[in-house]
């Protein structure tokens, strides 16, 4: 099949899908002989939406086989495996999708023809779900807290709900690509497939006016009879979407999501939330404004009037005075993690400042040994090498945490949040022990330590029998113990 035929067939298949004819769309895709990675991906998505999981899996296999770095294909195949209850395979695909993000918060596939953004936080959301399904609640919690740190937009509220579900050891919903989204062919290539009229349109050679003797390409045209002389009436300004409201009070935003408005501005309310915040459109910008700062405005009062010279009759028109009453209180937005209602969230978000900052959910009132073990597991360092401290209210001095300080420590919790500081000492069994790399090791996660064959690595601690933590060329991370050897023992 030629490139032009393949392109035309691809465009027809997408057109069938957009019209809702999924059967014809799938048939058109299957008739393409040389299926690219994108076309195989589209076939897999159509089968997945029809719950044909086995066929969808094969289609995603073909897509990945032709493009092994297509993260969104790993993401979709992971969803297929999860629905087939192949949880181990699903976990591997989601982890590979996260790896293909290469440390970025998202991949925008719009330049490639797919109107979808694959976010790292949503991939981690699904990884957490798989761990929860396998009964590994601690791993699930760890991935969801990382997802909270990586989310870049406020629309990912489902991650907060997932964290709440994990604390109750309940499963939550899977995040997937919306049905109907497919890779489209390049619109410029598709435009070239349309027939072109190189001769152009026919031109008039004689006038339609009987008394006109002119012939050529610009004849006289009939004149309008009884043209109206009255000025055009003002037109009603209609918003494309939303209900018009008048701003009563000045609002100064405190976050990037909020929108600055002044008294007298006309905004269009797109959506009003239960928390008394409204999503509005103003001057082409979209943002959040407290709804009690607004007042509904009838659309018939919004008129576009022509600019006229001010006459003596209207020069003394009264300008309406601004509102005299004080501005209402600004509503408080609370997420599931911020509310103190134990039915919604019963854990405490504990931030631990180390060489980097980590966050974890811990039930208030836990003893010192339990808190230390959780921090040790999160940092992948032996608990015996860690020392925790905290700052008492009204003091900048750090107090070392032990069992006797736990009651005071938990009393310092504010709004379900607590801050700790952590320092580490060398593991005496491995202090300053130098190892030589037998093989090169490439990092697959941010926690890994990358090195080359022959590099000298300073071992900092032992994670378990298979993994060590070390330092090489100024970087700290974990690595397989089988990749290194003690040079003194080899001699």
pLDDT tens-digit series, residues 360-384: 888 888 899 889 988 888 887 788 8
For residue 77, which of 41, 113, 109 has the smallest C-alpha distance?
A: 41
The per-residue pLDDT of the chain, averaged, comes to 80
Domain ranges of the chain: 3-167, 237-301, 348-424, 433-490
Least confident of 75-79, 288-292, 487-491: 487-491
User: For residue 341, what pLDDT is reported?
Assistant: 45
Average pLDDT estimate for 9-36: 88
pLDDT exceeds 70 at position 421: yes
User: For residue 448, what pLDDT is reported?
Assistant: 86
User: For residue 148, what pLDDT is reported?
Assistant: 84
Are the CB atoms for 67 and 40 separated by under 8 Å? no
Give the pairing type, strands 348-353 and 417-424.
Answer: parallel
Helix 37-49 and helix 71-83, axial crossing angle in degrees, nearest 10: 30
CATH fold of the domain at 433-490: SH3 type barrels. (2.30.30)
Architecture category of domain 3-167 in CATH: Alpha Horseshoe (1.25)
The number of residues making up the chain comes to 491
Place 334 in a pLDDT band, splitting at 50, 70 and 90: low
User: For residue 236, what pLDDT is reported?
Assistant: 43
Chain segment 437-462, per-residue pLDDT in tens: 999 998 877 778 999 999 999 888 78
Chain segment 145-192, per-residue pLDDT in tens: 898 888 767 678 888 888 888 888 889 889 999 888 899 888 777 676
Chain segment 213-237, per-residue pLDDT in tens: 555 555 455 555 555 555 555 444 4
Average pLDDT estimate for 234-241: 48
Chain segment 453-486, per-residue pLDDT in tens: 999 998 887 877 788 888 888 888 888 988 998 8
User: For residue 52, what pLDDT is reported?
Assistant: 92
Helix 71-83 and helix 53-66, axial crossing angle in degrees, nearest 10: 160
Q: 3-class DSSP state for residue 109?
A: coil
In sign, the C-alpha dihedral spanning 128, 132, 135, 137 is positive
In DSSP terms, 437 is beta-bridged to 484
Architecture category of domain 237-301 in CATH: Roll (2.30)
Q: 3-class DSSP state for residue 72?
A: helix
What's the rounded Cα separation, in Å, for the pair 15 and 22? Answer: 10
User: For residue 471, what pLDDT is reported?
Assistant: 87
What's the rounded Cα separation, in Å, for the pair 164 and 55? Answer: 35
Chain segment 101-154, per-residue pLDDT in tens: 888 888 989 888 898 999 999 999 999 999 999 999 999 999 988 988 887 676
User: For residue 303, what pLDDT is reported?
Assistant: 44
% of the chain residues with pLDDT over 90 = 22
Architecture category of domain 348-424 in CATH: Roll (3.10)
Domains 3-167 and 348-424 share a fold: no
Higher pLDDT, 290 or 207: 290
What's the rounded Cα separation, in Å, for the pair 97 and 92? Answer: 9
Average pLDDT estimate for 304-327: 52
For residue 456, which of 491, 489, 486 has the smallest C-alpha distance?
A: 486
């Amino acid at each position: 099949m030629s490139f032009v035929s393949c392109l035309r067939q691809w465009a027809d298949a997408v057109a069938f899908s957009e019209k809702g004819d999924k059967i014809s769309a799938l048939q058109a895709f299957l008739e393409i002989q040389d299926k690219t990675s994108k076309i195989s991906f589209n076939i897999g998505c159509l089968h997945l939406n029809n719950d044909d999981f086995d066929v969808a899996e094969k289609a995603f296999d073909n897509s990945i086989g032709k493009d092994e770095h297509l993260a969104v294909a790993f993401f979709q195949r992971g969803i297929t495996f999860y629905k087939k209850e192949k949880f181990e395979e699903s976990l591997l695909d989601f982890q590979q999708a996260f790896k293909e993000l290469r440390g970025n918060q998202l991949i925008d596939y719009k330049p490639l023809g797919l109107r979808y953004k694959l976010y790292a936080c949503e991939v981690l959301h699904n990884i957490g779900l798989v761990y929860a399904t396998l009964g590994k609640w601690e791993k699930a919690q760890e991935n969801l807290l990382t997802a909270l740190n990586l989310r870049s937009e406020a629309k990912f509220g489902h991650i907060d709900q997932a964290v709440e579900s994990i604390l109750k050891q309940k499963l939550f919903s899977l995040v997937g690509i919306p049905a109907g989204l497919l890779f489209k062919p390049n619109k410029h290539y598709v435009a070239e497939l349309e027939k072109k009229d190189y001769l152009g349109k026919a031109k008039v050679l004689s006038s339609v006016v009987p008394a006109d003797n002119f012939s050529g390409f610009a004849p006289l045209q009939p004149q309008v009879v009884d043209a109206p002389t009255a000025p055009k009436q003002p037109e009603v300004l209609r918003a494309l979407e939303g209900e018009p409201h008048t701003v009563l009070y000045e609002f100064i935003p405190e976050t990037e999501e909020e929108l600055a408005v002044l008294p007298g501005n006309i905004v269009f309310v797109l959506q009003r939330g239960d928390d008394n915040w409204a999503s509005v459109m103003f001057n082409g910008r979209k943002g959040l404004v407290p709804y009690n700062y607004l007042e509904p405005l009838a659309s018939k009062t919004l008129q576009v009037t022509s600019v006229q010279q001010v006459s003596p009759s209207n020069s003394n028109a009264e300008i309406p005075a601004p509102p005299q009453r004080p501005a209402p209180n600004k509503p408080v937005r609370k997420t599931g993690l911020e509310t103190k209602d134990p039915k919604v969230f019963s854990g405490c978000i504990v931030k631990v400042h180390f060489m980097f900052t980590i966050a974890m959910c811990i039930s208030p009132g836990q003893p010192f040994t339990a808190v230390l073990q959780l921090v040790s597991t999160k940092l992948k360092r032996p608990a015996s090498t860690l020392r925790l401290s905290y700052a008492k209210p009204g003091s900048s001095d750090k107090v070392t945490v032990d069992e006797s300080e736990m009651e005071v420590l938990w009393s310092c919790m504010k709004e379900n949040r607590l801050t700790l500081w952590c320092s580490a000492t060398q593991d005496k069994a491995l202090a300053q022990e130098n190892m030589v790399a037998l093989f090169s090791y490439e990092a697959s996660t941010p926690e890994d330590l990358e090195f080359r064959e022959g590099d000298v690595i300073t071992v900092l601690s032992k994670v378990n029998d298979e993994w060590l933590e070390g330092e090489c060329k100024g970087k700290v991370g974990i690595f397989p113990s089988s990749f290194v050897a003690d040079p003194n023992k080899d001699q």
